[in-house]
A = this chain, B = another copy of it.
Amino acid sequence: MSRDQDFVTLGHGGGGLLTQRLIREHLVRLLPAGEAILNDAAALEVPGARLAFTTDSFVVTPRFFPGGDIGKLAVFGTVNDVAMRGGVPQWLSLSLVLEEGLPVAEVERIVASIQAACEQAQVQIVTGDTKVVERGAADGVYINTCGLGVIPDGINLAADQARPGDAVLVNGTIAEHGMAVLLAREELGISGDLVSDSAPVHRATRALIEELGPDVHVLRDPTRGGLAAVANEIAQASEVQIELDERSLPCREVVQGACELLGLDPLLVPSEGRFVAFVADQAKQRGLEVLQSQPGGAEAAIIGRVTEDTGGRVVLGTSAGTRRLVDLPSGEVLPRIC
């Protein structure tokens, strides 16, 4: 083992190659053999029902940013992970790790935000836990939420279900959450009017599934590691090639501008209210109409297609007419963005 790999680095949490390695080398043996490690939620069989079950810890900094806060992010992030497996999000757990000295008023503000987010998404927190650590042993507040929901009969969405010929759809403009949080960090010395896209997407996924049925193959939300990570994970799990078209990719100019300024690729920047859908080619127009008819869905688009495997790769056709490989982000891209 090389020196670099002896210690945990921020890159291990970035959602890219180092995160995958940490999981594959150290954590994967904990998981059941049949369960793909890269799904947003597990699918579980209980007598009479199939459940989607997911966990996420939130360590975003700053805790409050344009368009959201750590509490809203936790609720919507977990709701969305249940939805990506086709589940109808219903119940959440809430676990807080608080730093000694945190103003109670700030806890109150976060709790109010969690409550409003639960009402908006129509989910219910049913179990909780609170721990306090000494001053300096945590950075204010960390939140863990687990999500639980029933998966309706006949739905089998997973990262390994993409098929050659599938179209790739996205429900709106990408990379706004990551850029909004980055710009909220004053140390960058730049500012903008960017707002996080943090939102629950389970109504949109539900509408898509109801309209397209088994023609929906994969749903994923491009959070940590952005669209690049998600596309690579699906390409590898499904053993297909994914070809994305840069010209079709909805991305606001202000986001593109900020990315250029900071030397970031929007494909690597997280969204928190967006998802990609891999659907059968014959269903793509109907799928697009469903996504565009959703609140905030005007910029939904068909952004690519799936072709035969050439090694689980992701290829981007650029605006300049060239083609380039899209790799998994390899190190620390955007630490503590969710």
* A46 surroundings in chain B (CB, below 8 A): 46, 48-49, 51, 150
* A111 surroundings in chain B (CB, below 8 A): 26-27, 29-30
Task: State the Cβ distance, A42 to closest chain B Cβ, in Å.
Answer: 4
* A19 surroundings in chain B (CB, below 8 A): 130
Report A128-159 residues with CB < 8 Å from chain B CB: 128-134, 136-139, 142, 144, 146, 148, 150
Tell me if B128 and A6 are in contact (CB < 8 A).
no
Q: A13-B98, A49-B48, A136-B136 are contacts. A127–B55 as well, Cβ < 8 Å?
A: yes
Write the chain B residue with the least CB distance to A138.
Answer: B138
* A258 surroundings in chain B (CB, below 8 A): none
Q: A30-B125, A139-B137, A146-B146 are contacts. A55–B95 as well, Cβ < 8 Å?
A: yes
1/0 contact trace for A39-72 toward B, CB 8 Å? 1011010111101011111110000000000000
Q: A44-B91, A44-B126, A142-B97 are contacts. A59–B102 as well, Cβ < 8 Å?
A: no
Tell me if A94 and B55 are in contact (CB < 8 A).
yes
A9 at the interface (CB under 8 A from B): yes
A188 at the interface (CB under 8 A from B): no
Tell me if B148 and A148 are in contact (CB < 8 A).
yes
Task: Give the oligomeric copy count.
Answer: 2
Please measure, in the bound complex, the distance between the C-alpha atom of A130 and the C-alpha atom of B335, giving whole angstroms: 12
Task: State the Cβ distance, A145 to closest chain B Cβ, in Å.
Answer: 8
Tell me if A47 and B48 are in contact (CB < 8 A).
yes
Tell me if A5 and B91 are in contact (CB < 8 A).
no
Residue of B5, B12, B56, B132 near A129 (CB, 8 A) is B56
Tell me if A93 and B7 are in contact (CB < 8 A).
no
Tell me if A27 and B126 are in contact (CB < 8 A).
no
Tell me if B13 and A127 are in contact (CB < 8 A).
no
A-B contact pairs, 19 of them (CB 8 A): A6-B104, A8-B98, A8-B102, A12-B98, A27-B130, A30-B94, A30-B111, A30-B115, A39-B127, A42-B127, A44-B91, A44-B148, A55-B94, A56-B129, A97-B97, A133-B335, A134-B336, A136-B136, A144-B144
Interface centre among A9, A104, A111, A131 (most CB of B within 10 A): A131
Size bin of chain A's contact surface: 35 or more
Interface centre among A22, A55, A56, A91 (most CB of B within 10 A): A55
Closest 9 CB pairs of A and B: A48-B48, A13-B132, A55-B93, A42-B126, A144-B144, A146-B146, A137-B139, A42-B127, A8-B102
A209 at the interface (CB under 8 A from B): no
Tell me if B57 and A97 are in contact (CB < 8 A).
yes
A190 at the interface (CB under 8 A from B): no
A210 at the interface (CB under 8 A from B): no
Residue of B29, B41, B42, B49 near A115 (CB, 8 A) is B29
A99 at the interface (CB under 8 A from B): yes
Task: State the Cβ distance, A140 to closest chain B Cβ, in Å.
Answer: 9
Please measure, in the bound complex, the distance between the C-alpha atom of A12 and the C-alpha atom of B144, giving whole angstroms: 18
* A6 surroundings in chain B (CB, below 8 A): 103-105
Write the chain B residue with the least CB distance to A55.
Answer: B93
* A26 surroundings in chain B (CB, below 8 A): 104, 107-108, 111
* A12 surroundings in chain B (CB, below 8 A): 98, 130, 132
Please measure, in the bound complex, the distance between the C-alpha atom of A335 and the C-alpha atom of B133, giving whole angstroms: 8
